[in-house]
Structure 1
Amino acid sequence: MARGKWPTVVQLPSGKALTVRAAADVFLDSLGNPNTVRNYGIGAGKTAERLGEARPPASVAADEIGEALELLWDTAAVNTWNARRAAVLSWLGWCRERGYLLDEHTTVRGPGTGWDLHEYRHSAVTHLGEQGASPLMLMAKSRHKKPENLRRYFKPSDEPIAEVTSLLAPGDARR
């Protein structure tokens, strides 16, 4: 660390449990650049509103975050989607570092892990594909312009594959 450069120390609210709104506010207060605060404030602020501002951050399930992003910015331009996603990713990373979010019961692979927001997008493509959405709809939803990019993210589970295979040979699950 360069001489005279110290990390920002942020005073957390005391006397009550940290809420989603308080976590967003303290995160935004920890940022130094006013432009970053303004831009990240949109992503973190609206996501906090959507999740429920009075909730403790650890009560937020991972899929709720992806759902909030989709509900808020699904129809937005790609650059807007990416900017909001980056803001929320930064906020979630900040929360995770401090132990406020994605605790053991909300993660997939144990404490300290979980899905990032880009993985939610891939998961959504897989779920929609398994439900029968057309490739064109999946490309529109995932904002991929080429089918080969979509193929990288559509990972159907064994059950839908077996279901489709059974159409070729009804009653024969070995195929």
Structure 2
Amino acid sequence: MATVVPLKTASGAATVRTAADRYLDSITVANTRRTYTTALGKVCPALGEDRPLSTVADDEIGQALEQLWGTAAVGTWNSRRGAVGGWLAWCHEAGLQPPRIPAWCKRMPDPGSDTPVRSKTAIDRLIARRDVALREKVTYRMLYETCARADELLGVNIEDLNLAARQCPVKAKGAKAVRRRGQAREDYETETIYWDAGTARLLPRLIGERTRGPLLVTHRRPGPGKVLTPRDVCPDTGLARLSYGQLRALLDRHTCIGGQEGTGWDPHEFRHSGLTHLGEQGVSLLLFMAKSRHKSVSAARKYFKPGAAALAEVTSLLAPSDSQH
């Protein structure tokens, strides 16, 4: 177990790297030290190793975690988040005035745990709210209608959209890059997602006169220290692609309970809810897997979790006939 050793530098003056090294030195369990060294070895350069730890903002911690492990497996995300959280807690006890992991940067539930199913009415009500901006309305509606994964939708560019057919290609989950001879860049295996009238009505308003670049962008241009690929920046406006962490923070703000951060919905709940609603409607497994793009039946079956309304309806089949008293 780590022990707190006061640093020789003045309170708040320790750099990110110094604080990390001292924390790692205080860990006596070899396996724990090795795991935490891996995590902090990537987080520190992302934050800036030579800057004072006290100048790092909470959101910078969240953005670093999201950038490094936002698309990693749940176990990896939770492990790395736990390592950073342990480091910051140790720094707090040492009086270094460290940042905290933001509330929107939540520990992910285990794959076997239940993901909440939001009713269609609740989703419609959320999207109809006046305080939800057009960009978020499009994102939430599109996530629900396409049943796409959030990172898939965030990676869509305007030139990928087929507005007439209400469809677009997305990078397949787990797809590996393939560079063919003579190509200037790597390509990925793609899959097609489809949306309906709700998204179709909103998309033209969001796109406006733009013809290329990320579909979902931030409202501010990236700072000088932000390194982005040309594909992640709108060539017309200079705005950066919306990140998963930013989307999760926006959704949490719109759905949190009693204004308490970290109690709101997760972006994955739109996909999970949409697929569950399809299962409740009796969609065939073949069509369901085509929509969800699952590769195995066992992975698709977990979405067939009928809600209260569906269970009440099927229970009515057991009711006595009208002729019985």
Measured against the shorter chain, the TM-score band is: 0.5 to 0.7
Q: In the alignment, is residue 156 of structure 1 matched against residue 254 of structure 2?
A: yes
CA distance in 2, matches of 1:9, 1:90: 11
Q: In the alignment, is residue 12 of structure 1 matched against residue 12 of structure 2?
A: no
Matched residue SS, 1:99:
coil
TM-score, normalization by structure 2: 0.33
Instruction: Give, in angstroms, the shift of residue 121 of structure 1.
Output: 2.7
Instruction: Give, in angstroms, the shift of residue 155 of structure 1.
Output: 3.9
Flag structure 2 segments of 5+ consecutive residues without an equivalent.
107-131, 152-247, 256-325
* AA of the residue aligned to 1:18: A
Instruction: Give, in angstroms, the shift of residue 139 of structure 1.
Output: 8.6
CA distance in 2, matches of 1:131, 1:41: 37
Q: In the alignment, is residue 21 of structure 1 matched against residue 17 of structure 2?
A: yes
| C-alpha RMSD of matched pairs (Å) | 3.5
Q: In the alignment, is residue 89 of structure 1 matched against residue 81 of structure 2?
A: no
More helix by share: 1
Distance 1:130 1:26, change over 3 A: farther
Q: Which residue of 1 aligns with 2:50?
A: 54
User: CA deviation digits over 1:110-132, x for unaligned, max 9?
Assistant: xxxxx544x1236xxxx999733
Flag structure 1 segments of 5+ consecutive residues without an equivalent.
1-6, 107-114, 143-149, 158-175
Contact 1:92 1:101 in 2 (8 A): no
Q: Which residue of 2 aligns with 1:40?
A: 36
CA distance in 1, matches of 2:81, 2:95: 20
> Which structure has the greater CA radius of gyration?
2
User: CA deviation digits over 1:9-67, x for unaligned, max 9?
Assistant: 6363559x421001000001000101101101111221111000001100001100000
User: CA deviation digits over 1:85-141, x for unaligned, max 9?
Assistant: 000000011111122134xxx7xxxxxxxx544x1236xxxx999733234599945
Contact 2:16 2:48 in 1 (8 A): yes
Q: In the alignment, is residue 120 of structure 1 matched against residue 104 of structure 2?
A: yes
* AA of the residue aligned to 1:156: H
TM-score, normalization by structure 1: 0.59
* AA of the residue aligned to 2:91: C
Aligned length: 126
Identity fraction in percent: 42
Moved over 6 A (4+): 127-130
Contact 2:5 2:94 in 1 (8 A): no
CA distance in 1, matches of 2:86, 2:44: 13
Matched residue SS, 1:156:
helix
CA distance in 2, matches of 1:128, 1:47: 32
CA distance in 2, matches of 1:121, 1:129: 24
Q: Which residue of 1 aligns with 2:277?
A: none
CA distance in 2, matches of 1:25, 1:33: 15
Distance 1:33 1:154, change over 3 A: same
